[in-house]
């Protein structure tokens, strides 16, 4: 898979076609998990989310993939952006106040409650400005489904640092979402 990712980044003909069947099931699983957090009746389906994200990833020439975990972390980030963009477009059209998602218990100290996807994205952007690596840990863990050790490996940091970043990010996001 690493060789195919490098070939994709180098723009080698056929690399995208060879990589797609290898990663499709995992991308679909990730998209399905993300879509479970969305409101009922969402117009975007997991398959469409996978296709949109894959097109974004396959179009990134020169990307130096660090392996499978890195690829799926970036894929999760791309899916998050697609969902947020979709929510913003819908809100702009309807002005009905946003889309509710459930943020898992691992991130919220109060046992999980419905949150606005757009409010979460705004809080994530503020976190990225304050401490970019902590935001990356959240993206890899919550949106990418990686374990703390996998996130640490992708980011090239130690496990203890990743745990500290995760703890800080949880507290920061909780405070931001409570204030909003």
Q: Which residue has the higher pLDDT, 13 or 62?
A: 13
Average pLDDT over residues 80-87: 84
Average pLDDT over residues 162-169: 96
Q: Return the percentage of the chain with pLDDT > 70, whole number.
A: 83
Question: Token match 């409650």: residue?
Answer: 113
Q: Which of 96-100, 111-115, 151-155 has the lowest mean pLDDT?
A: 111-115
In sequence order, the 6+-apart residues with CB closer than 8 A to the CB of 32 are 46
Opening angle at CA 152, ends 105 and 19, nearest 5:
95
pLDDT above 60 for 123? yes
Confidence of residue 131 (pLDDT cuts 50, 70, 90): very high
DSSP letter, residue 13: T
Query: What pLDDT is recorded for position 147?
Result: 86
Residue 117 half-sphere exposure toward CB, CA atoms < 13 A: 25
How far apart are the C-alpha atoms of 70 and 151, rounded to whole Å?
8
Mean pLDDT of the chain: 79
Query: What pLDDT is recorded for position 2?
Result: 81
Query: What pLDDT is recorded for position 170?
Result: 92
Query: What pLDDT is recorded for position 113?
Result: 39
Q: Which residue has the higher pLDDT, 140 or 134?
A: 134
pLDDT above 80 for 115? no
Backbone conformation region of residue 156, classed left if phi is above 0, alpha if psi is from -120 to 50, else beta:
left
Confidence of residue 102 (pLDDT cuts 50, 70, 90): very low
Query: What pLDDT is recorded for position 168?
Result: 96
Q: Is 165 exposed, middle or buried (0-12, 13-18, 19+ CB in 10 A)?
A: buried
How far apart are the C-alpha atoms of 49 and 68, rounded to whole Å?
19
Q: Which residue has the higher pLDDT, 106 or 30?
A: 30
Query: What pLDDT is recorded for position 112?
Result: 39
CA-wise closest residue to 153 among 142, 162, 145: 162
Average pLDDT over residues 153-165: 92
In the chain the first and final C-alpha atoms are separated, in Å, by 42
Confidence of residue 163 (pLDDT cuts 50, 70, 90): very high
């Amino acid at each position: 898979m690493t060789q195919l990712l490098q070939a994709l980044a180098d723009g080698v003909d056929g690399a995208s076609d060879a990589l797609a069947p290898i990663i499709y099931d995992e991308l679909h699983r990730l998209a399905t998990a993300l879509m479970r957090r969305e409101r009922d009746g969402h117009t975007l389906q997991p398959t469409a989310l996978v296709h949109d994200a894959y097109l974004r990833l396959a179009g990134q020439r020169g990307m130096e993939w660090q392996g499978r975990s890195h690829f799926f972390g970036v894929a999760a980030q791309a899916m998050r952006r697609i969902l947020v963009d979709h929510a913003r477009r819908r809100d702009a059209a309807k002005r009905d106040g946003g889309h509710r998602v459930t943020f898992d218990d691992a991130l919220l100290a109060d046992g999980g409650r419905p949150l606005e996807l757009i409010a979460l994205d705004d809080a994530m952007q503020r976190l990225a400005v304050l401490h970019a690596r902590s935001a990356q840990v959240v993206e890899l863990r919550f949106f990418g489904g990686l374990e703390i050790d996998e996130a640490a490996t992708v980011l090239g940091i130690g496990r203890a640092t990743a745990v500290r970043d995760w703890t800080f990010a949880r507290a920061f996001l909780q405070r931001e979402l409570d204030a909003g």
